[in-house]
Structure 1
Amino acid sequence: MTQFPPFVLASASPARLKLLKTVGIDPIVCSSDYDESQITETNPLKLVQILAQCKAEIVAQQYENCLVLGCDSVLAIDGKIYGKPDSPEEAITRWQIMRNNYGELYTGHALLDGKKQKTLLSCGITKVHFADIDNQTIEAYVNTGEPLKCAGSFALEGKGSLFIEKIEGCHSNVIGLSLPLLRKMLQKLDYSIKSFW
């Protein structure tokens, strides 16, 4: 197994950082500040992979010979893609669609290995079932501000967990980074997760 180069997280997400630290990875954090509106892809799987790659590539320009991880998440319900809501009103409307329904949370992962000049792309898909909650609860939840910071208008690691009835697939993928998927991507590049410990 190859020795790990420095690991860079191309994301300002505190949730992604916490996930990595939980498994012993203490990355350099560098937000890409990529303008996502440039990409108009309508297939959620392709969209999150393109965005994850664009974010990772921008950050990789600043960090040579490093492993750079870019991620992006969207929620798809009935074929429609939802990112972060632009306003509290949008978050409320979205929750009215989500309640007593389910969506698929797509998280694109792009792992760039500057040392080996290799790029791996992958996508985790997790089915999320939402509770049937009333309008007052939706408004109260949106007023906490939490849904405005998250793709899909909910945070599984926060108050939003109260309204998730069931998850089919990878739990950490819903938080923004599939840890099992990351392990497999590192293995493909001939790195062992044990090296972080």
Structure 2
Amino acid sequence: MRRIILASASPRRKELLKQLIGDNFVVCPSSYEEPPQPGMNPEELLLKHSVEKARDVAKHFDSGIVISADTSVLYNGEILGKPHLPEKAKEMLEKLSGKKIQVITGLTVLDLDSAQEISESESTNVWMANISKEQISAYVRTGEPLDKAGAFAAQGKGAVLVEKVEGDFFNVVGLPLFRLGKILERLGVSVFEEGFS
């Protein structure tokens, strides 16, 4: 069985990968800093970040498959980061109330044994519900939105703010499992293999 390395410190990505292949992977967060890249569109930027994260982690291993991802929420073509402060989270959620947004992930899978590197992006449309100021304040008080891109967690309490999802739901959480499974297949790794449970 091949060694799988997740190049991310995200507990959400760890949970999603575990859902796919069990505990059969190691976590090695990247130290790549994600500098701004003027002139790149959001999709190109996310792909670049995911590639650089994978390559950064690959330096520490001589064999195996490195998986990295970079996810952002887009509204009107603008990338929305993590708000970190309650005021910023409220502002962001007020802006997104009743709107359609996009969640895009740049995904890179790097096979160290065959020197193959596959990078693809996944996009999911999300329709946010009309959220009252009271709901926004109550949600922000939970602390959940502060470290989430777009100030909501679709897999947490934020589920009640999401009216409809078109595309891969897991992409909204941070790791597009369908696309990842397809890429692993192309590299000769099936998630149904014995040992991946």
Q: Which TM-score band (shorter chain)?
A: over 0.9
Q: Where does residue 22 of structure 1 map in the other structure?
A: 19
How many residues of Structure 1 are paired with residues of Structure 2 in the alignment?
A: 194
The 3 A distance-change label for structure 1 pair 41 and 146 is: farther
Instruction: For 2:31 and 2:143, locate their aligned partners in 1 and report how far apart those are by CA, in whole Å.
Output: 21
> Is there any run of 5+ residues in structure 2 with no aligned partner, and where?
none
Per-residue CA deviations over 1:123-178 (Å, capped at 9, x if unaligned) read: 11000010111112112212222111111211111011010000000010101001
Q: How large is the Cα RMSD of the aligned pairs?
A: 1.4
2:101 aligned partner, one-letter code: G
1:137 aligned partner, one-letter code: Q
Match of 1:5 among 2, 26, 44: 2
Q: Which stretch shifts more, 165-174 or 76-85?
A: 76-85
Q: Where does residue 154 of structure 1 map in the other structure?
A: 152
Are the equivalent residues in 1 in contact too, given 2:97–2:129 (CA < 8 A)?
yes
Instruction: For 1:120 and 1:77, locate their aligned partners in 2 and report how far apart those are by CA, in whole Å.
Output: 27
Instruction: For 1:173 and 1:120, locate their aligned partners in 2 and report how far apart those are by CA, in whole Å.
Output: 17
Taking the TM superposition and a 5 Å limit, the aligned residue runs for 1:30-49 are 30-40=28-38, 42-49=40-47
The 3 A distance-change label for structure 1 pair 12 and 41 is: farther
Q: Residue 42 of structure 1: CA displacement? A: 4.3
Q: Where does residue 82 of structure 1 map in the other structure?
A: 80
Instruction: For 1:55 and 1:24, locate their aligned partners in 2 and report how far apart those are by CA, in whole Å.
Output: 21
2:10 aligned partner, one-letter code: S
Q: Residue 192 of structure 1: CA displacement? A: 1.6
* Percent identity (aligned): 37
Q: Where does residue 181 of structure 2 map in the other structure?
A: 183
Q: Residue 41 of structure 1: CA displacement? A: 5.3
> Is there any run of 5+ residues in structure 1 with no aligned partner, and where?
none
Instruction: For 1:79 and 1:180, locate their aligned partners in 2 and report how far apart those are by CA, in whole Å.
Output: 25
Are the equivalent residues in 2 in contact too, given 1:42–1:81 (CA < 8 A)?
no
Are the equivalent residues in 1 in contact too, given 2:84–2:147 (CA < 8 A)?
no
**TM-score computed with the length of structure 2 as normaliser:** 0.93
1:32 aligned partner, one-letter code: S
Are the equivalent residues in 2 in contact too, given 1:56–1:110 (CA < 8 A)?
yes
Q: Which stretch shifts more, 122-131 or 149-158?
A: 149-158
Q: Where does residue 51 of structure 2 map in the other structure?
A: 53
Q: Which stretch shifts more, 109-118 or 147-156?
A: 147-156
1:60 aligned partner, one-letter code: A
